[in-house]
Structure 1
């Protein structure tokens, strides 16, 4: 039997290559992105062609894959970033403008800018832990993807408050913002995984970011600011400007007390969940005179929330 006759045959002799295109798409749509990329794409030419159909590429979600594994040093290498960029760019091209959701990590400005050019209907953008995504590409997203309703730029230290201003001005449908920073209290958990220069580049302008959020994102319903260094003043601005907040995550924020939080958030009538800092900071890490109040308020705070 020739090679052509063998192509696409299963172990039972069935010729999978003869499936109708509609049936094949139905099967492929039931697989995850990673499953399609590690199997069906390499079966035969017709299957590879089907895997590129725009109907399969309204969502690009690698976050579930990252979330299921412990963080690895190789994720922070240029080689890995290029692989993620290549994969994302391919899906953007295949989507033919139908991509509405991107969830990944460790991509670069190049890929995000490409998404801005080709994905006018983008509604969800999650690009956590991207050391080479900057204000430049996020600004492009803001101007070209006005339907954006959810943005996660956690651990992206080259993105500043200026991006928040532009996003807020141009994306009125934004309901969810996640701007979490790495755990600065126990930075040792990132050592030998995250490059030291990146760890030391943690943004120090929490109140500027708070001001941008308060002024330009009035329709927010879900806001995460874990380990931000915003002050009570910054939190006050947010609570005055974002009256529709239903969920507020302040895990690891050390510049205000539990009493501050209660008083400042009292005007948020729609607030259903607030995650407060709940830890006692060791003497070896901070001055007790400045942070000793956390021990006093610890019993009032929620528990089990420190997971990065």
Structure 2
């Protein structure tokens, strides 16, 4: 049997394949296979999902090994790496068609502005802890521009949380899912229930502290929830019968591994491991 010539694969079929390979392969592998693959990789359909490597930064730390940045600089023969320049490159490739973006932890304010201006069709957005801590006051203004936003992950609730939800409530009529990490006390729970009462999907990420009273506020105030993921959280017991009864109307309610913990001992997670936006949800 003769071997297949992958260079002659129909371009439309090739684009469909490349849509699924991920950003790192599209940048570091696919363009160097052959000319036809390189041309296909420039199709904006390949860049509708932009999951940026978490650790990229303008000034690499001596004790942090960033394999992606090293390979990128080597492949493209660069002497310096710029987060803003890298974001701009991928936004140019997407040609304003990006619908899912998970931003790097050390994103610059300039890069955030670029995303705000060049991604009018954005539906799913992830912002890790370091980014929210550094640019939290800028986020509400940016969120107001994403009219089609459906789901948001915030790596921290410490900065402008209510202001961000206010802009979502006023400008994003299709919004249905929120993912948060860190701390969800009464103030944060009140913001969720008052500003997003019709929310359908709520992810309280691993190691998030959610006092029992705050969880009760959410269960009482968000009657349209079809999914509430509060696994491995602190502040309440997974076996709490009253909580389970209050959540009986929720189709998918997950609290496995959650337990009581001193609220003063909680920490804000900086890993992107559990910060994934579940873009399969709420796409209707």
Give me the TM-score of the superposition, normalised by structure 1: 0.62
Where relative contact order (Cα < 8 A, 6+ residues apart) is larger, the structure is 2
CA 110–169 in structure 1, closer or farther in 2 if over 3 Å, else same: same
Q: Is the 8 A contact 2:55 2:106 kept in 1?
A: no
Q: Distance in 2 between matches of 1:207 and 1:248?
A: 17
Deviates more, 1:145-154 or 1:229-238: 229-238
Which aligned pairs between 1:66-105 and structure 2 lie closer than 5 A? 74=64, 84-105=83-104
**Structure 1 residue 274 and structure 2 residue 274: aligned?**
no
Q: Is the 8 A contact 1:236 1:264 kept in 2?
A: no
Q: Is the 8 A contact 2:124 2:152 kept in 1?
A: yes
Structure 1's unaligned 5+ residue stretches are 1-11, 67-72, 182-202, 288-306
Aligned residues, how many? 244
CA 45–267 in structure 1, closer or farther in 2 if over 3 Å, else same: closer
Q: Distance in 2 between matches of 1:263 and 1:38?
A: 48
Aligned position for 2:77: none
CA 271–20 in structure 1, closer or farther in 2 if over 3 Å, else same: closer
**Structure 1 residue 34 and structure 2 residue 24: aligned?**
yes
Q: Deviations over 1:56-94 (max 9, x none)?
A: 21111347999xxxxxx7389xx99x6554433222122
Which aligned pairs between 1:296-307 and structure 2 lie closer than 5 A? none
2:189 to 197, 203, 210: 210
Q: Distance in 2 between matches of 1:49 and 1:96?
A: 15
CA 62–19 in structure 1, closer or farther in 2 if over 3 Å, else same: same
Q: Is the 8 A contact 2:105 2:127 kept in 1?
A: yes
CA 47–229 in structure 1, closer or farther in 2 if over 3 Å, else same: closer
Q: Is the 8 A contact 2:202 2:229 kept in 1?
A: yes
Which aligned pairs between 1:216-255 and structure 2 lie closer than 5 A? 216-226=195-205, 227-255=207-235
**Structure 1 residue 54 and structure 2 residue 33: aligned?**
no
Q: CA RMSD in A?
A: 4.2
Q: Deviations over 1:265-294 (max 9, x none)?
A: 61662342231554476xxxx69xxxxxxx
Q: Distance in 2 between matches of 1:64 and 1:231?
A: 29
Give me the TM-score of the superposition, normalised by structure 2: 0.66
Q: Distance in 2 between matches of 1:46 and 1:279?
A: 54
Q: Is the 8 A contact 2:234 2:260 kept in 1?
A: no
Q: Distance in 2 between matches of 1:248 and 1:23?
A: 37
Secondary structure of the 1:164 match is helix
Deviates more, 1:98-107 or 1:266-275: 266-275
**Structure 1 residue 116 and structure 2 residue 96: aligned?**
no
CA 31–221 in structure 1, closer or farther in 2 if over 3 Å, else same: same
Structure 2's unaligned 5+ residue stretches are 57-62, 71-80, 264-272, 275-284
Which aligned pairs between 1:153-192 and structure 2 lie closer than 5 A? 153-155=154-156, 158=159, 160-181=161-182
